[in-house]
Amino acid sequence: MVRPTRVTNSIRSLRFAAGEMTQSELADRVGMTRQTIIAIEQGRYSPSLEVAFRIARVLGVRLDEVFQYPEEVGHDS
Amino acid sequence: MPFEEKLTWVNASVTLMVAAVYAWIVGGRVAGSHIGDVSYQIPLLVAIGAMIALTIIGTITVSIATAIGRAVRAEVTGEGTAADAVADLDRKDERDDHIARHGDRIGYYVSSGLMLGALALSMLRSDQFWIANAIFGALVIAGLASSMAKIAAYHRGF
């Protein structure tokens, strides 16, 4: 089922914090295509857990610093 | 545009183009003829062969054009070497695989549904012309549906 993901991420800002890493460089280092990195950054694709860990490792931060999953509106926490 | 999406466009374009030419040729023979006498076999075989051949030619052409484009961009922007830019031309990742599976599933559902129509035609003892063309039409429509589903997934999100 095609659906936009609710997972948000901070990849763009983290790339710049990591020495202005380009999308191509990040894609090469995690073994993905640049288009998929763009789709992830724009929230059009939710990567697998393994790829998410690889991205976090390349960016040198924890997984939850890269990806966030906001509470649903009206959801009791 | 992802490389896999380009190949999907090649598939869809070739399928649509060949099917249109086939329909134009065979459709012209149907007018004013008894349906059992319409010669569709050779055009149908040629159409299937043309789809395979043109898809291969299109894939090679798109691959070469993409490689040249990436190499030129690498040289102009200074981001890496031309050789590196071309080295992983056909790189696929999990998103490409997910989208391919999604498109194939859509194509399977469409072809399964339309094949029931071809089955019904054979049960009704329709002329072979209608049965053969219903099967060919089902494959063409299923292929187009699969391609459109993949392209939509690349654009709208997956």
Of residues B31 and A36, which shows the higher confidence score?
Answer: A36
- Asked if A3 and B95 come within 8 Å (Cβ–Cβ), the reply is no
- Asked if A47 and B2 come within 8 Å (Cβ–Cβ), the reply is no
From chain B, pick out residues whose CB is under 8 angstroms from the CB of A22. Answer: 79
Structure tokens at B144: 């187009």
- Asked if B79 and A24 come within 8 Å (Cβ–Cβ), the reply is yes
Chain B: which residues have CB within 8 Å of chain A?
1-3, 5, 79-80, 88, 91-96, 102, 152-154, 156-158
Report CA torsion sign: B77, B78, B83, B86.
Answer: negative
- Percentage of residues in chain A having pLDDT higher than 70: 88
- Asked if B95 and A22 come within 8 Å (Cβ–Cβ), the reply is no
Which single residue is written with the structure tokens 């960016």? A59
Mean of pLDDT over chain B: 91
Nearest CA in chain A to B155: A44
Q: Are A4 and A44 in contact (CB under 8 A)?
A: yes
Q: What is the model's pTM? A: 0.81
Q: In which band, very low, low, confident or very high, does the pLDDT at B134 lie, cut at 50, 70 and 90? A: very high
Cα–Cα distance between A33 and A19 in angstroms, integer?
20
Tell me what ipTM this predicted complex has: 0.78
Q: Are A68 and A9 in contact (CB under 8 A)?
A: yes
Cα–Cα distance between B111 and B85 in angstroms, integer?
38
Our CA-based measurement puts residue B60 at a distance from the nearest CA of chain A, in whole angstroms, of 20
Nearest CA in chain A to B149: A2
> Cβ-count burial of A26 within 10 angstroms (0-12 exposed, 13-18 middle, 19+ buried)?
buried
In tens, the pLDDT along B60-113 reads: 999 999 888 888 887 887 766 777 767 777 788 999 999 999 999 999 999 999
E strands within chain A? 8-9, 67-68
Our CA-based measurement puts residue A46 at a distance from the nearest CA of chain B, in whole angstroms, of 7
